[in-house]
Each structure stands twice: as C-alpha cells, then as structure tokens.
Amino acid sequence: MEHQLPEIFDSFSEARRNGFLQMKALKDNGKKVAGTFCTYTPLELFDAAGMATVGLCSTSDETIPDAETVLPRNLCPLIKSSYGFAITNKCPYMYFSDLVVGETTCDGKKKMYEYLGEIKNTHVMQLPQNQEDEISKELWYQEIIRLKERIESDFEVIITNEDLENSIKRKNKERRLLKGIYETSMNFPPPITGLEQLKILFGTQFKFNEEEKIKELENTLEKLTTINNTNSSNISLDSKRIVITGCPMGGVTEKIVDIIEQQGGIVVAYENCTGAKKVENFVEENTEDPFRAVSEAYLNIGCSVMTPDDKRYVLLQDLVHRFKADAVIEMTLQACHTYAIETNQVKRICDSINIPFLTVETDYSTSDIAQLTTRIGAFLEII
C-alpha cells in the first residue's frame, strides 16, 4: 500500500539506527544510560534519576555464532543474540550503557546474565513467579527498592518520591499515546498495516528526547485519527484481522508480520511485550508511596514466566474482542519453553471463543520464510 504518513514511519522505523548518534550526544553531555531487556524493568526509576533508558540489541542472528562459543546452541536465539552483541561490541547501545538491568524471566537469561556481569555493570531483578500472593507482591516491591538503591549508589543521585511521581506521569502520558495509536486499528479498515504499527511501537524506545517523542506520538495519533474519520485508509476491508501473541517481536521476527500481510491478512494488535503488554498497565498517580505504585503496575504484566499466567490470557481475549479479530497467530522462538508450553492453553482459550488459532515457531534467521509463508498462507485461506 502507499503510506499516508511517510515522514512519521521513516522517523520510527529508522529510530534504532539513528538513535546511535543521539545516544552518543547524550553521553558526551554527561547523561547516564541504563540498558534494559524486559518489559518488567521499571523505566520510571531511571527517568526519575535523570538517566536515559534503551532496549538492548537482540533482534538478529548476526552475533549468535560468537555467543555460541560460550552458550549452548540449543538455547533461545533472543538470549544468544543479546549476549553476542555484548561480547562483540556490535551494539552501540550496549557499549554506551552504564548499567545493564536484567530480570529472572527465564533460566536461560539468568545464567546468561552471570556471564554478562563479567563484562558489564549488571543488575539482575529477582522477579517472582506469581502475581497474586502477598509474598510475591512484597518481594517485587523490595526488588524495586533494591534497584532504586543500586541506581542511587552507582550514580550518586537521590530518587525522591516527587521525582518518581513526575516520572510516572510522563511515562503514563507516553503509554496513553501509544495505546491511542494502536487502538486506531480497531477501525474497519485500520489506518495502518501491522508492520507500520510495529515500527512505531518498537521504534519509540530509541527516541531519547522526551519532548520530541511525545510531540511525534501526538502528531501520529492525530494523523491516524484523521485517516479513520475521513475513511481514507488504503487497506482492504477484506483483509483478515489478526491478533499476534507470544514471544517479544522486533527485528528479524518482523518476517512473521510481513508474511501475514503479504498473504492477505492485516495485523491489528500485538499482545506481545512489544505491543499492548507494555502499554496497558498504567501506574497509579498521586499515591502516598509511588514506589509501591510502580511495583504493583509492573507486576501485573502477563508473561509465560508467571504461574498461572491468567493476565496474559485475559489481555489476549480482550484484544480479540476489542479489535474484532478473525484469528490469533502465536509466534514462539525456538527453545522458549515457557511460551511453547502455554501454546496448548492459548489454543483452548481461542477454541472456547470460536477464534481460529495458529502457532508458528521460528528463530532469528530468514531460512524458514518459505515454510512459514506456506503455513500462514494456508491458515488464512481457511478462515
């Protein structure tokens, strides 16, 4: 299709590459940087400390052979890619990070962080595996406090309640705008393709000037709303509306979205960490203890590390209904055991609400594109 917003999409799709120079400028001006891997990492704490945050490189197979000199071959490609970019210095964001923050979302990551800690200043948050019991809630709150203390110690700053409250409001504003942007795809037809939506959601994390980022998001939302109001979308009404769930997406895994949309589908929503999962949970504002508010909001994120993982299933069903999806496609990465095990439960849920479901497993290579095209194309034909 012909893009209605070329300048916007160029900005977001090139954000990761262009952000390298912005990051260098920040460092040259004395700004401290935290590199993150996971949606559970509370960005408000770093913002309150006057730091920048950036998602670290783990989106291609370029450095996997280097990682496999230390890590086993039959390990999740996201973990190997992350470590490979660290040891090869091929990721400027990793190079510029003054603190790398990990989290115990899987056993593979936990062990990889031990090696990463040998070459980078690394802090690992001990994430509980349950979201409902009081012991887990208190553990995560204490982990938020432990991260606060680590930031204060490493960078000689004090994070006050007022600082954190202001950061909560800034990040909530960003969440509202992102939510508004992807919710424009509830329209029939949506104003943008799923690939374009993903570029916005993924690219936002590589924009480091908060005022400019908010302005771009506001402009994007305004233009998408105009497309809906004027019925000027170029997307066919006959496109099958797809919600994607499963592992984090970005980089080479965009091949799944590209195949879906080349085969006559249109991705309208992402349950993944890249999409709604990181946006739907707002942090409560104006509370007596903003650290507690941050803790509660982030612990409510659904992920296959949790047992049970009810919050993932609730969000997925909500997206299916809100976006009036025709089907759900799950993308799992090879050797991601927790998401692979949950596939059966996701299928049960889709069956219970009469929504066609397909799961595909992939890695960070492009060698399986032909096979994926055949499977996804056949699935879309029978919806």
Residue 14 in this model has a pLDDT that exceeds 80: no
CA distances from 181 to 46, 192, 226 (A): 25, 10, 12
Average pLDDT over residues 233-246: 97
pLDDT at 4: 45
**Higher model confidence: residue 252 or residue 114?**
114
* Other beta carbons less than 10 A from residue 123's beta carbon: 18
Which range of residues forms the domain containing residue 132? 6-161
Phi, psi values for residue 102, rounded to 5°: -110, 180
36, amino acid identity: T
- What is the per-residue DSSP string for 74-122? TS-HHHHHHHHHHHHT--HHHHH-SEEEEE-SSHHHHHHHHHHTTTS-E
Confirm whether 379 is domain-assigned: no
Residue ranges with strand state E in the chain: 33-36, 52-55, 99-103, 122-125, 240-246, 265-270, 327-333, 357-362
Average pLDDT over residues 201-223: 93
pTM equals: 0.94
From CA 262, how far away is CA 377, in angstroms rounded? 9
Residue 96 in this model has a pLDDT that exceeds 90: yes
Confirm whether 25 is domain-assigned: yes
Residue 183 in this model has a pLDDT that exceeds 80: yes
pLDDT at 12: 59
From CA 137, how far away is CA 169, in angstroms rounded? 23
Confirm whether 321 is domain-assigned: no
**How sure is the predictor about 324, in pLDDT bands with cuts at 50, 70 and 90?**
very high
Confirm whether 138 is domain-assigned: yes
pLDDT at 5: 43
From CA 335, how far away is CA 376, in angstroms rounded? 21
Please give the structure tokens belonging to residue 139. 């553990």
Average pLDDT over residues 184-213: 94
Q: 382: buried, middle or exposed (CB in 10 Å: 19+, 13-18, 0-12)?
A: exposed
Average pLDDT over residues 304-327: 98
Please give the structure tokens belonging to residue 291. 């650290």
Q: Who's near 299: CB < 8 A, 6+ residues apart?
A: 40, 128, 131, 136, 137, 140
pLDDT at 68: 97
- Interval 101-129: pLDDT, tens: 999 999 999 999 999 999 999 999 999 99
CATH number of the domain where residue 32 is located: 3.40.50.11890
Residue 315 in this model has a pLDDT that exceeds 80: yes
Pinpoint the alpha helices (H) of 184-333.
194-203, 210-229, 254-262, 290-299, 310-322
Residue 362 in this model has a pLDDT that exceeds 80: yes
From CA 91, how far away is CA 116, in angstroms rounded? 14
Strands 327-333 and 357-362: parallel
Mean pLDDT (the chain) is 94
pLDDT at 191: 98
Q: 156: buried, middle or exposed (CB in 10 Å: 19+, 13-18, 0-12)?
A: exposed
From CA 82, how far away is CA 108, in angstroms rounded? 12
From CA 191, how far away is CA 200, in angstroms rounded? 13
Confirm whether 27 is domain-assigned: yes
- From the list 199, 197, 200, the residue with the least C-alpha distance to 213 is 200
Confirm whether 26 is domain-assigned: yes
Please give the structure tokens belonging to residue 143. 């982990």
Confirm whether 11 is domain-assigned: yes
What is the number of domains present in the chain?
A: 1
Residue 6 in this model has a pLDDT that exceeds 50: no
Confirm whether 70 is domain-assigned: yes
From CA 357, how far away is CA 359, in angstroms rounded? 7
- Interval 256-303: pLDDT, tens: 999 999 999 999 999 999 899 999 999 999 999 999 999 999 999 999
